[in-house]
Chain A
C-alpha cells in the first residue's frame, strides 16, 4: 500500500504483487534450461492463454507484441481447422480453444475462418453427444466444455447437436451432485467446472441440483482457507478457479469464506520473483499464476479486471464478443 507520508510503498504480506507477476510471466519463456520451458513446448498454446489472460486481468496486455503472438497462433492452425499446441505438433481441441480465446483477448477473432474451426470441432462430436479430444478418440467432459465454449465464442453453437451434448454431460452427474470425466467417474472440481460451464453456456443449468452441488463445492474449503478438488485431498490454488467459478455459476459463492480464500491465494505468491504456486512455499508456474489471479478476480480483489466464470475470459472481452 502506498504510504504517502514516507514517500515509498511497502508491500506487505497479504497483497497482490502485480508488478512481480507481470515480470514473471514476460520472462518465463526466456529462462534457459528451465524445466518449465522444456515441458511447455507442446502446450505453448495453453501457456499463451494462461499468461496473456493473466496479463489482461492485471491490465498489462499491451506489454506483449500482439502481431507476433497472432502470427504464431495462425501458424499453429492445421488443414483440419484445429490448432496445435505449438508449431510442428498435431491439432487438438485443447489448443483450439486456447487459440480462439487468445484471439478474443486481442479482439482478432475476425482473422479466423470460423467455418473451418467449427468444422473441426463438429467433427469431434460422437454419437452419444460426447466429444473426443482429437482423431485418436479420447473422450472426457473437459472436451464437451471446450467444444461448447469455443463454438459459443465463435457464435456458431448451433453447429453441434447441443441436446445430445447436454444429455451426455448429464449422464456424468453423480449422486453427490457433482460431475466426473465420463459416466460413473468420480466427482472432481475440474470436471465439475467443465460440466457446469458447458451447462451454463447452453442455458441448461436448471438440470443442476444447485443446493446439493453447492454444498459439495463449499465443503472443498479447508482450514487454511484454500480449496481442494475432492474430499480428503490437499488444497491447491487451481481449485480457487474451478470450485469458485462453479459456485458463482450456480449462485452459491456466499457459502464459502471468501476472505480466507483470498488470504490463501496471496500466501501462494513468490513475492521475490513473481508467480503463484499450488500451495504456499512451493515452486511457481504460469498455470497456477493464472488460476490464482483469476480466482482473485472472481473474489473481486481490487485492481483486477472482472473475469467471466463460464468463458474464463475478461468480462469486457466476453461483452465485446456478444454485444459488439
Chain B
C-alpha cells in the first residue's frame, strides 16, 4: 500500500529497495543537440524512472517512484501515463489517488496532465465521488475563480455525473463575490441552457433577463452582463430589440453617460450628434482611441437617423 506521505527525498541509490535496478541515463540521441544540464535529484529520479518504464515494471515501488517524479516535475506527461498503467493492476485506492492529485494541485492548479489524470480517476469512481469532486473544484475556484482547467473539469463532472441542482446558486454566489467574473457568467449560461432541472433557455429567459438587467444597471461598465443579455436572445435577437422595456432600461446608463460626456465635450468644430447611438460612437472614437477604427466602423453601420 502506497504511503500517503511523500518519501523523505533520500537519494534512490542509497535505498536498499532500489539496489537491483540499474538507472538509465537520458539518451539524447546519436547527436545530442545540446544535452540538457539537470539538477542532481531530478536526474537521479528520472534515471530510475527510465529503467522502470523501459522494463514496464508495474509494482508498488514503481508507483512510489512516479509520485516522486511527479513532485519534481508535474508537467512530465509520460510519468502520469505510466502511473495510470501501474495503478490499474495494483488495484490501488483511487480515493487516496484523488488526495494525492489534490496535493499536487495546490501548487500546480493549471497543469493539464493533473486535471486529465483526475478525470481518469473520477471516471473509475463514478457518481459516488460526485459531491466530493464538485466540492473540491469549488475550493480551487475559491483561490482562483477563473481557473480555466477547474471550470472545464467542473463542466465535465456535471455532464458525466450530474449534480446540477445547486449549480445556479453557486454561480449566483460567485457573481455576488465578483460580478465581473466572466467564467461565472459563462457557467451561468451553461447551467441555464443545459441543466435538466431548469427547463432550458426559453423557460429561463424572463428571470435571467431580470437578473442581467439588474447587473447592467449596477455596473454598466461590466462587459459580461451585456454579452449575456445578447446570449439570452440567441437566434431571436428581434425579440430583444423590440422589447421596449429592456431597451429603455439599457439606454438609461447610456443616457447618463452621455450627459456626463456632453459636459466634458470641448470640441467646437465637431458638434455632438443629436442621434444618441451616433453620438456615443463619436465619443468613444476619442475616449477609447485604441479601438477608434472599431467605433468608426460601428458608427457607419448605424441606420441613418430619419
Contact = CB atoms under 8 A, between A and B. Distances in A.
Count chain A CB atoms within 10 A of each CB in B50, B77, B234, B289 and give the residue with the most: B77
Interface string B231-248: 100100000000000000
B143 interface: no
A255 B290 CA distance: 8
B106 to A, nearest CB: 17
B27 A87 contact: yes
Contacts of A92: 77
Contacts of B42: 38
A136 to B, nearest CB: 7
B77 A71 contact: no
Contact of A41 (B36, B181, B189, B234): B36
Nearest to A40: B36
A68 B183 CA distance: 45
Given A43-B75, A175-B230, A181-B152, A231 B120 contact: no
Contacts of A67: 31
A216 B193 CA distance: 22
Contacts of A40: 36
Contact of B37 (A33, A85, A89, A185): A33
B227 A72 contact: no
A136 B117 CA distance: 9
A69 interface: yes
Contact of B39 (A33, A72, A219): A33
A38 B31 contact: no
Contacts of A221: 290-291
B32 A255 contact: no
B172 interface: no
B234 to A, nearest CB: 6
A231 B78 CA distance: 34
A69 B30 CA distance: 10
Interface stretch (A3-11, A24-32, A145-153, A288-296): A24-32
A230 B156 CA distance: 21
Count chain A CB atoms within 10 A of each CB in B50, B148, B297 and give the residue with the most: B148
A186 B183 contact: yes
Contacts of A37: 36-38
Interface in A198-215: 214-215
A300 interface: no
Interface string A210-230: 000011101101000100001
A90 B77 CA distance: 8
Interface residues of A, number: 59
Contacts of A41: 26, 36, 38, 46, 73, 76
Interface string A227-261: 00011110000000000000000000011110010
Given A39-B73, A174-B186, A68 B294 contact: no
Nearest to B158: A184
Contacts of A89: 76-78
A138 B116 contact: yes
B290 A260 contact: yes
B186 A254 contact: no
B148 A186 contact: yes
A273 interface: no
B interface bracket (residues with beta carbon within 8 Å of A): 35 or more
Contacts, number: 148
Contacts of A188: 148
Count chain B CB atoms within 10 A of each CB in A30, A88, A256 and give the residue with the most: A88
A186 B151 contact: yes
B182 A85 contact: no
Interface string B37-63: 111001000100010010000000000
Given A41-B76, A175-B189, A256-B291, A75 B29 contact: yes
Contacts of A43: 75
A182 B155 contact: yes
B11 to A, nearest CB: 17
Interface string A116-136: 000000000000000000001
A42 B37 contact: no
Given A38-B42, A42-B73, A182-B155, A175 B291 contact: no
A269 interface: no
Interface string A78-108: 0000001101111010000000000000000
A219 B298 CA distance: 14
B37 A31 contact: yes
Contacts of B28: 72, 87
B34 interface: yes
A268 to B, nearest CB: 18
B224 A231 contact: yes
A261 B25 CA distance: 45
A44 B73 CA distance: 14
A87 B78 contact: no
B33 A38 contact: no
Contacts of B73: 38-39, 41-42
13 contacts: A37-B37, A39-B75, A42-B73, A68-B33, A72-B32, A85-B77, A87-B29, A174-B186, A175-B230, A176-B231, A185-B151, A214-B294, A219-B291
Q: Which 3 A-B pairs have the closest CB atoms?
A: A175-B231, A257-B290, A186-B186
Interface of B: 26-34, 36-39, 42, 46, 50, 53, 72-73, 75-78, 81, 84, 112, 116, 119-120, 146, 148, 151-152, 155-156, 180-183, 186-187, 189-190, 193-194, 223-224, 227-228, 230-231, 234, 289-294, 297
Given A68-B32, A175-B231, 18 more contacts: A29-B33, A29-B36, A37-B37, A38-B38, A75-B29, A88-B53, A182-B156, A185-B151, A186-B182, A214-B294, A216-B227, A221-B290, A225-B290, A230-B183, A231-B180, A231-B182, A254-B293, A257-B291
